[in-house]
Chains A and B, each alone.
Chain A
Amino acid sequence: MLSYPTVRVSLLFLAIAVAGLFVADIAITTANPWRDLGQFFIGVATPNFFSTEGLLTALLRTVAFGFVGVALGSFFGFLLALVYRLLPVRIFCAFIRAIHELFWALIFLQFFGFHPLTGVLAIAIPYAGIFAKVYSEILEESDPEPSRLLPPGTSAIASFLYARIPDCWVQIRTYTAYRLECGLRSSAILGFVGLPTLGFYLESSFSQGMYSDAGAMLILFYVLIATMPIWVRPKLLPAYLLAAPFFLGEGFPIVWGNVERFFTEDIVPSPLRNGEGLAGLSSWLGDVMITEALPGIWNTIVLTQVALVATGLLSLLAFPLISKHFGGPVRRTSGHVFLVIARSTPEYILAYILLQLWGPSMLPAVVALALHNGGIIGHLIGRQTNAIELRPDAPTGFTRYSWELVPRVYRSFLAFLFYRWEIIMRETAILGILGIYTLGFYVDSAIQNIQFDRAMILILITASLNIGVDVLGRFIRRKLALQTMPTC
């Protein structure tokens, strides 16, 4: 077995994660974690839909921010995709998508304040970077044959519109619809930093232990996501897109002087602002690196590696839940419900809930990341196994699982996992805002202390780390010759 490179790579990552477990802070610190968890489930079972007068508005705002953000992201992402072969464009896109929506929101909050633009741009900017990359991959893989058949002299635009686009239109549409779902999740969590979406009320009810109210919001959110195929229809889309900007709320007017101040003063490192010159700058940078960046980077990497392997293990355990090769229709339906809930819940919300119930350590973060990402990969792999036809006399049970199915899907499983590596790291960093000592913790602390220069340096470090992991992940996928179509 060890002669297979995929097995060797898997074992290497497993070993790193086990070593990570020894240095990671894994603990349940609450006195009665199970009682709290029980109360939470009772809350979800007895939802109170009439608690907050603003709940309906919040839901509307969640949808509106999601739509406008994703629409803008998709439009600019498409334009960028057309010039994606240029190296500067690729670097620019990698950079903007390496910064998480919540970090973008925290940045815009400092100068746009509570203006709808804060939420819209927080979604649109990173999404444009992601769309650019994926659209360009889709376009690249389109069949070149139709364009060759066009008469000479056909304009580039005409050949693009009539020969390239039709070939990959379905893929573009499917992917965009998928991102819209992600956009609603992003929109919901923006509430945690103060935008008027669902997360705002969810955080309030949760921190006060009003689990029935929180349960109602979660249920509404699941219903919203699960019914998307019904209410998001191609024919209705233009109407939604035209209406959405009017439902973002007014917020407060933008003061442009604040924008200028942010870029010309706030984010300039304080030694430069105070005229301490390069010597002051280097000691300031050294201080940021040693007291904040390095511990943050260390914890981010440890947590990412542990969460990555936990995600992998969970995906492998979860895919039989929806595979036609195991169990009856009842088991499969409940498996589907479980996986839908696991993947529809944003990691941030899952981590927030578990942190409230279990107390602060890396454990809630690992479980949250594994549940969400494992739900996604398990779903994709499970669906893939349904396309496999086994011989009538194929073994059953555990032998079928370990000798027939896992080997057949293992390569695509690894491909998905390495694809999500960067995404897991981006989330890991952001979970620091909730009190785990990853990079996000130090970014949040700097913002709480009104030290935006420090916050910016730390955000840039986080972005570079993500880009590094993205490059490494792509390298490993290429080495192992793993191919995959992008997922959320």
Chain B
Amino acid sequence: MITKQIRKWLVSGFLTLAVATTASAQTFVFTAIPDEDETKLVERFRGIADYLSEQLEVDVRYIPVKSYAAAISAFRNNQVQLAWFGGLSGVQARALVPGSEALAQGVEDQAFYNYFIAHKSTGLERADELPEGVRGKTFTFGSKGSTSGRLIPEYHIRDRFNEAPETVFSRVGFSGNHTRTLRLVESGTYDVGALNYKVWEKELEDGNINTDDVKIIWKTPGFPNYQWTIRGDVDERFGEGFKDRVRQALLDLDDPALLESFPREGFIPASNDDYEPIRSVASELGIID
């Protein structure tokens, strides 16, 4: 048994080596912002890579990255040609790569929203606006470059209290991603946190949240979020009409298992202008110049 596993391990190790060395210049590479647990991302985007590879008839490869900025840099440096960005990272990336465009977004991304969540020990209850009682508590954002983990929560905190998060809360941290925000507030490491409603609902559905320990205290108004963004020069590299084929492949995606892994109902066309609200908020907060 053990030797069999060792053999499997060795073989897969060398296969990974072999695969890594055969990736040619004509491989279509994409990445995604690391907004959730990596295992989930790898599973989800390997499925997407297989699907796109079949539809587009080129090698398609997904590479996982460790930060939002790494996803943006890889896109900017043309080491990836397509990316699943958040609202803010998409705006940042498109500003850096002239000619790049938002191709498609999830149905839900037109009016995405956030939950502010709190640990039971705070005694906070769900309200129609961000409760005054969060003042003086500890608070965690998600990643520094996240739309629903940082930008939108910071915007609403400033809007509600007219103060920077650092003065409203006794301690402000960055958990890294939405799943971690959920875990940290659930365990009481932080009193309050803000996360993407999709992650909350998926975890709730999968039975991974102890709702006695953590609850929603506020739901933000809607904002445009995640989208697929592609570089403007892919047609030159992969042939005329390649961009349109990628868009079509994404819009046609109807495999329930793949859609469920996002989770999105389906993908619809998007444009750069859809994200103007995000750009203006980011500029107001000084996150972009």
Residue of A nearest to B21 (CB): A250
Bound Cα distance A437, B145 (Å): 17
Contact: B187 with A194, CB < 8 Å?
no
Bound Cα distance A253, B79 (Å): 8
User: What is the predominant secondary structure among interface residues of chain A facing chain B?
Assistant: loop
Bound Cα distance A455, B20 (Å): 32
Residue among A255, A444, A450 making CB contact with B72, cutoff 8 Å: A450
Contact: B77 with A29, CB < 8 Å?
no
Residue of A nearest to B76 (CB): A258
- Top 10 nearest A-B pairs (CB, nearest first) are A31-B188, A56-B13, A194-B66, A53-B12, A252-B79, A448-B144, A204-B38, A30-B189, A113-B79, A448-B145
Contact: B21 with A55, CB < 8 Å?
no
Chain B CB within 8 A of A449 CB? yes
Total interface residues in chain A, CB < 8 Å: 44
Chain B CB within 8 A of A406 CB? no
Most buried by B among A53, A253, A255: A53
User: Which positions in A face B, CB cutoff 8 Å?
Assistant: 29-32, 49-50, 53-57, 60, 109-111, 113-114, 192-194, 200, 203-204, 207-209, 247, 249-250, 252-253, 255, 258, 270, 359-360, 435, 444-445, 447-451
In the complex, chain B residues 1-37 whose Cβ is within 8 Å of any chain A Cβ: 5, 8-10, 12-13, 16-17, 20-21, 23, 25, 29, 37
Given A250-B20, A250-B21, A193 and B77 touching (CB < 8 A)? no
In the complex, chain B residues 140-185 whose Cβ is within 8 Å of any chain A Cβ: 143-145, 171, 173-174, 176-177, 179-180, 183
Bound Cα distance A209, B288 (Å): 33
In the complex, chain B residues 29-56 whose Cβ is within 8 Å of any chain A Cβ: 29, 37-39
Bound Cα distance A258, B74 (Å): 11
Given A207-B180, A435-B174, A449-B144, A270 and B289 touching (CB < 8 A)? yes
CB-CB under 8 A from B96, the residues of chain A are: 450
Given A194-B65, A253-B25, A29 and B138 touching (CB < 8 A)? yes
Bound Cα distance A3, B188 (Å): 51
7 A-B pairs within 8 Å (CB atoms) are namely A32-B187, A207-B37, A207-B177, A208-B179, A435-B173, A448-B67, A448-B143
CB-CB under 8 A from B143, the residues of chain A are: 448
Residue of B nearest to A33 (CB): B189
Residue of A nearest to B73 (CB): A110
Contact: A54 with B69, CB < 8 Å?
no
Contact: B176 with A204, CB < 8 Å?
no
Bound Cα distance A32, B188 (Å): 8
Bound Cα distance A355, B259 (Å): 35
Chain A CB within 8 A of B63 CB? yes
In the complex, chain B residues 232-259 whose Cβ is within 8 Å of any chain A Cβ: none
Residues 107-149 of chain B: 1 if any A CB is under 8 Å from the residue's CB, otherwise 0?
Answer: 0000000000001000000000000000000100001110000
Most buried by A among B5, B39, B72: B39
Total interface residues in chain B, CB < 8 Å: 52
CB-CB under 8 A from A32, the residues of chain B are: 187-188
CB-CB under 8 A from A359, the residues of chain B are: 189
Chain A CB within 8 A of B85 CB? no
CB-CB under 8 A from A111, the residues of chain B are: 77
Contact: B144 with A194, CB < 8 Å?
no
CB-CB under 8 A from A50, the residues of chain B are: 5, 8-9
Residue of B nearest to A194 (CB): B66
Chain A CB within 8 A of B70 CB? yes
Contact: B189 with A54, CB < 8 Å?
no
Bound Cα distance A253, B96 (Å): 20
Residue of A nearest to B68 (CB): A448
CB-CB under 8 A from B77, the residues of chain A are: 110-111, 113, 255, 258
Contact: A194 with B67, CB < 8 Å?
yes
Q: Would you give the shortest CB distance from A245 to chain B, in whole angstroms?
A: 13
Bound Cα distance A448, B66 (Å): 11
Residue of A nearest to B119 (CB): A31
Given A31-B187, A31-B189, A359-B189, A109 and B174 touching (CB < 8 A)? no
CB-CB under 8 A from B70, the residues of chain A are: 109, 193-194
Most buried by B among A113, A255, A448: A448
CB-CB under 8 A from B58, the residues of chain A are: none
Residue of B nearest to A56 (CB): B13
Chain A CB within 8 A of B220 CB? no
Q: Would you give the shortest CB distance from B93 to chain A, in whole angstroms?
A: 9
CB-CB under 8 A from A252, the residues of chain B are: 29, 74, 79
Q: A50-B5, A449-B287 are in contact. List 9 more A-B contacts (CB 8 A).
A: A30-B189, A32-B187, A54-B12, A113-B73, A207-B38, A209-B183, A255-B78, A435-B173, A448-B144
CB-CB under 8 A from A203, the residues of chain B are: 66
Chain A CB within 8 A of B229 CB? no
Q: Would you give the shortest CB distance from B237 to chain A, in whole angstroms?
A: 12
Bound Cα distance A447, B69 (Å): 7
Chain A CB within 8 A of B92 CB? yes
Residue of A nearest to B143 (CB): A448
CB-CB under 8 A from A49, the residues of chain B are: 9
Residue among B13, B66, B179, B180 making CB contact with A57, cutoff 8 Å: B13
Residue of A nearest to B287 (CB): A449
Residue of B nearest to A445 (CB): B144
Contact: A207 with B176, CB < 8 Å?
yes
Bound Cα distance A97, B56 (Å): 47
Contact: B21 with A53, CB < 8 Å?
no
Contact: B16 with A54, CB < 8 Å?
yes
Residue of A nearest to B144 (CB): A448
Bound Cα distance A247, B16 (Å): 12
CB-CB under 8 A from B119, the residues of chain A are: 31
CB-CB under 8 A from B188, the residues of chain A are: 30-32
Residue of A nearest to B38 (CB): A204
Residues 173-217 of chain B: 1 if any A CB is under 8 Å from the residue's CB, otherwise 0?
Answer: 110110110010001111000000000000000000000000000
Contact: A29 with B9, CB < 8 Å?
no
CB-CB under 8 A from A253, the residues of chain B are: 25, 79
